[in-house]
Amino acid sequence: MEPTTVLVINGPNLNLLGEREPEIYGSDTLADVEALCRVACEAAGLTLEFRQSNHEGVLIDWVQEGRRGIAGLVINAAGYTHTSVALRDAVSAVTVPRVEVHISDIHAREEFRHHSYLTDVTDHQVIGRGVAGYAEAIQWVATSRD
């Protein structure tokens, strides 16, 4: 039987969505994002596993645990996008569809945010579409499985 779970992993400070820099990230909370992802998964006939951590090693462990037995990986590595070769290496070992998500347009922000260590090891990127980008990423996973 083909796996049906989409693993959505969120990196550091995303637990502060709705509070931290709402002019950049909007007013939706991480709970709102999870609800949006759940609806998107249900519409696509998939199930959701949704996680967030501020700790790089925990994120790496989750990627490694989920690299088999899932339908796809959606990852918003937040600040680790620009700094973590270790997280990049974990994502590169995933063999199911992988989508990098960023709520803001990282290419229109500070220079240090322009480089992503994940772009070359993910199959698709959704950048600067707000929290709706998560639903777009899940839909991409669903259609890439067909």
**Residues tagged active-site:** 25, 102
Q: Is-contact 100 75, C-beta < 8 A?
A: yes
Q: What is the chain's percent helix, strand, coil content, to nearest 5?
A: 45, 20, 35
**Is 103 a known ligand-binding residue?**
yes
**Is 76 a known ligand-binding residue?**
yes
DSSP states of 44-74:
TT-EEEEEE-S-HHHHHHHHHHHSSS-SEEE
**Is 113 a known ligand-binding residue?**
yes
**Is 114 a known ligand-binding residue?**
no
Annotated binding site for substrate: 76, 82, 89, 103-104, 113
Annotated binding site: 76, 82, 89, 103-104, 113
